[in-house]
Chains A and B, each alone.
Chain A
Amino acid sequence: MLLPKFDFHEPKTLNEACQILAAYGVKAKLIAGGTDLMVNMKKKILSPEQVISISRIGELKKLDTSGDSIRIGSCFTVADLSTSDAIQKHLSALGEGAKNLGTPLIRNLATIGGNLGSARPAADLPPALMAYGAQVVLNSLSGERTLSLDKFFMGPGFTAAKPDEILSEIQIPSLPPHSGAGYINIGVRKGQDCNLVNVASFIALDTDGTIRNARIVMGCVGPIPLRASSAEKMLIGQKPESALFSRAGAAASLDSTPIDDFRGTAAYKRDMVGVLTRRTLDIAFREATHRQ
């Protein structure tokens, strides 16, 4: 299987990368782990004339938990996310997404930035990141801007990043006390599966134990990861308990917009949104009660 012909660039700094990208614009594609781009090039879905590798840029690989927000470089690998103690401690739902992404071999190459930038509706990292209220930092020659992940995804394969912008960092604001999150994905088999439905839930509890804040993000059931808004509204001010979570699940089902495709029917996906919402709310609640 042959790849299309292209020129290859391997900038050493983010600035250098921005310069090269500015020169070629839409004729160029960024490559980090390559697990998405390489497959698309082999399938002849993409044939960029220029390929710019950012995988050697050290500043893009850092994980910084020292400040108010957790900052993850876009080239931090999914494998490192899945084994990082800091991620497990602070962003367990993200860790769960990372553990379930692809295969161990893919995880050693794949990056958090790539999983966001490729904007696949079934991707494993966006739901948890959105549930945590993450933002992305986009760099270009003209400067840097920060964008909420809620506004980043535009459609399957499309993001709000401009052709000359590089996703350099993901920032997650520090989490309030008594908050927790959960992530579950289901497919057909247990290993190496493309998700049929995935859901991440985040809740933050008030001092009286009621739900102060909730974010429920559903993947695979729309062109982009969707917030289950009516489910979230239903939870605010309520005391967390099983029946409430079930009702939230039913509401989330109605918030979802799955389609029939060769992987499964819309009806099944809708029902699974309900089940996974309830289950991830359970996980989030358990974590919230344990977190100081």
Chain B
Amino acid sequence: MSEYTVINSRAVRVDTPDKATGKAVFIDDMTMPGMLYGALLQSPLAHARIVSIDTSKARNLPGVKSVVTAAEAGLVKYGVSPARYDETLFCHEKVRYVGDDIAAVAAVDMETALKAVSLIDVVYEELPAVFTIEEAMKAGAPVLHDNYPGNICAEVHSEFGNVEEALADCDLIKTTTFQNKRQDAAFIEPQGCIASYDLSGNLTLYSSTQVPHYVQRTVAMVLKLPVGKVRVIKPYVGAGFGIKASANPLELSACLLSMKTGKPVKMNYNREQVFQYGRARHQFTHTMTTGVKKDGTIMALKHLCYLDGGAYSSFGIATVYYAGSLLGGPYKLPNMKYDGYRIYNNKPACGAMRGHGGVAARACWEQQLDMIAEELKISPIELRLKNMMVAGDVTCNDLNMSSLGMKECIEAVKDGSEWTAKKGKLPKGKGIGMACGFFVSGAGYPIYRSDTFHGTVIVKLTEDGGTALVYTASAEIGQGSDTTFAMIAAEALGIRLEDVRLESGDTDFGVDLGAYSSRQTLMTGHAVKEAAEDARRQVLEVLAKELNVPVENMDIKNSLIEFKQENVDFTGLRTRYSKEHRGWNDNPADGPLTFREASRMAYLSKGSIVGTGKYKPPELGGKYKGATVGTSPAYGCSAQIAEVTVDEETGQITVDRITDAHDCGLAINVTSVEGQMEGSVSMGLGEALFEEVKFDNKGHVINADLAEYKIPTMLDMPQIKTIIVESNEPNGPFGAKEVGEGAIMPTIPAILNAVYDAIGVRIHELPMTPERVYLAIQEAKKGKTS
């Protein structure tokens, strides 16, 4: 029985009825009068100098309204992090990957736009290209960016404690190398946008984005417009998973074309272009050396990581930090050394994708911990529990676990999966494995250095009373944030969920950094709560004066006013309300005083009742370089157990069941939290077993479609049992913290450990396709017989 009225329930989401009926509007569903269609000219070569661009034939094609290249766009550098602005909207001197953007066309229809693109003559001087880390780092290799010699986009070197000293004192030291592959987010809705520049110089960009704020800033910066003249609005978005968390060339091109033509311009990526644009998970190569005492105490971790970054930085500078910093927890680890390198090469850029740099690192380490547990003859669960941090502990790299329900998560999955009955007792070919993980609940700092609030919210009560309007610039991208915020507002105000109307995703509503780093529930949620409480306070203050009752003796619940004292006579107020609503016949006649009447009274007294809320985390983290990456006001954590069957003759893996426990602090919407857990597991399963973006030797993506890039289908997913753990996060609104990314962390290692349990063979490279598993089994057999 929840102590709350609205939150911590399975309220039906506010957006899903429209999504179930086809009414929900996504970007490609939109059309505007006079709208033009835009298309991009993208490089067919991985690395080449642009000798000349001739757009004359394209410009002269009937129906073409504008053709733009770097000459029109300018050369303002942009990217994700100001520390690595290494892109321009269009290439001007050279192209760096197949798909790099060279020009854009706006025309009366798509056919004309595409024809015009084909008429743009570009003369290239092909340059030698590099496609792997090894090739890119070789002496004399072609350099992609002149100011990054050796193609080293970013490097990180950090040490906490003294790793060599600690290792010397260890009883067991284990070293493993692990590699995942470049992934694609494979959201079902490709990127798209409509830009509309009006006659007053106001630019409105509608876009399928996770981050209206960052897009607004980037558009203004690159196209040299005042920020106040740029408005970004997101319609419903068909998911993003991090790839839509920064401005893209589509958005910038459409804006520029609209500025040139004075007409709205619509642009989309087709599915192949989505793959070619990339910006999803890097390929990481991790080498980890862990030292433990013979009783299982973890003493030290030495960690080297190479990231295959692609042609531009995107989120990469944060990624290379996250890959190291997120191993500081959830186990007590006094000594940690990390050396990370992100390398440029002539493939599409990689960026941030669900779990960011933490996923492959966690997979490597959780498998290694299992190997250590086996050698020490300690159970994997015992090893983890023995080293687990508790709420209030701080990692060696200054990450503060203000709440950490990790122990509860482990116990929940252990019981929920019948681990004890199965572990060590399954027949050959069947296995069970477990793993843990955690993630930030919002990055501690914005991507650009700033004192800005991370989220601002306005709650306005309708003047005729009764409805609270919530305005937030945050991004509902499918995770359920609109509903979460409506529920928080309703709870904090004391009104029913149906008396809240929420609008989101519009930069005119305020500042919100958007949906990335799992920040919105905690950060925007705080701002919503504050704004709602502000509105509530204003209403109660007016009531207190009118009724001569102290504010502390009043409460709002279920859209009704509750009095904690006897004999409060509000008939005067009610009469006044009815009188000045003469003609309306739905005025309350008897019963408790309603929120509707109270907020009407407040309006008559003060004018429009507007509550404002804002959130900024406190100063977090240590004083070392890169300390900001990994900091967060809170951390969500998760434990998972996977059960698998392996067909040893073919190498095919069937995941039979996943049991998943996640500590989200407090579940605002229980169904949404479960949904995010289940979705995370499916993405982790896909990366573990099937997913890999493949290239030919000229830098083209070979499998740029959803047939050859294999995400799990219904036939590949098992039943997922979800268990919510609530540790009541002190820094979270109502105790809530993240679920969207922490939940993906244990999936891959749980499956890796289960596969080992089934066939006695360790696999250190993803994806675990049937062929890879089969080969590993053959190798192991050879090893045994030789």
Contact = CB atoms under 8 A, between A and B. Distances in A.
In their complex, do chains A and B touch, with some C-beta pair under 8 Å?
yes
Interface of A: 1-2, 103, 186, 188-194, 196, 262-265, 268, 271-272, 275
A103 B706 CA distance: 13
26 contacts: A2-B111, A186-B652, A186-B770, A188-B689, A188-B769, A188-B770, A189-B689, A189-B710, A189-B712, A190-B654, A190-B715, A191-B712, A191-B715, A191-B716, A192-B707, A194-B707, A194-B708, A196-B771, A262-B694, A262-B696, A262-B702, A262-B708, A263-B708, A264-B771, A268-B770, A272-B650
The 4 closest A-B pairs by CB, nearest first: A191-B713, A191-B715, A190-B715, A268-B771
Contacts of B696: 262
Contacts of B712: 189, 191
Given A268-B771, A268-B775, A275-B649, A188 B690 contact: yes
B375 to A, nearest CB: 31
Nearest to A275: B649
B114 interface: yes
Contacts of B650: 186, 272, 275
B421 interface: no
Interface string B134-178: 000000000000000000000000000000000000000000000
A189 B707 contact: no
B771 A265 contact: yes
A186 B652 CA distance: 9
B419 interface: no
A277 to B, nearest CB: 12
B31 interface: no
B649 A189 contact: no
A268 B774 contact: yes
B199 interface: no
A194 B708 CA distance: 8
Contacts of B649: 275
Contacts, number: 54
Contacts of B694: 262
Contacts of B708: 194, 262-263
Contacts of B716: 189-191
A189 B687 CA distance: 12
Interface string B262-281: 00000000100000000000
Contacts of B270: 1
Nearest to B270: A1
B71 interface: no
Nearest to A279: B649
A191 B654 CA distance: 12
Contacts of A186: 650, 652, 770
Nearest to B114: A2
Nearest to A269: B771
Contacts of B652: 186
A14 B558 CA distance: 70
Given A188-B769, A262-B694, 12 more contacts: A186-B650, A186-B652, A188-B770, A189-B689, A189-B710, A189-B716, A190-B715, A192-B707, A192-B715, A262-B696, A264-B771, A268-B775
A1 B654 CA distance: 36
Contacts of A190: 654, 713, 715-716
A189 B651 CA distance: 12
Interface in B668-720: 689-690, 694, 696, 702-703, 707-708, 710, 712-716
A177 B424 CA distance: 48
A264 B694 CA distance: 12
Contacts of B715: 189-192
Interface string B30-49: 00000000000000000000
Contacts of A194: 707-708
Contacts of A272: 650
B551 interface: no
A46 B707 CA distance: 19
Nearest to B714: A191
B714 A189 contact: no
Nearest to B686: A189
Nearest to A184: B650
Nearest to B778: A271
A65 to B, nearest CB: 30
A188 B707 CA distance: 11
Contacts of B775: 268
B110 interface: yes
A117 to B, nearest CB: 20
Which interface residue of B270, B696, B712, B713 has the most chain A CB atoms within 10 A?
B713
A228 B617 CA distance: 68
Contacts of B654: 190
A178 B652 CA distance: 32
Contacts of A265: 771
Given A268-B774, A275-B650, A188 B710 contact: yes
B780 to A, nearest CB: 15
Given A262-B694, A262-B702, A275-B649, A193 B770 contact: no
A272 B703 CA distance: 23
Contacts of A192: 707, 713, 715
B111 A189 contact: no
Contacts of B770: 186, 188, 196, 268
Interface string B650-663: 10101000000000
B701 to A, nearest CB: 11
A103 B707 CA distance: 11
Contacts of B774: 268, 271
A196 B652 CA distance: 12
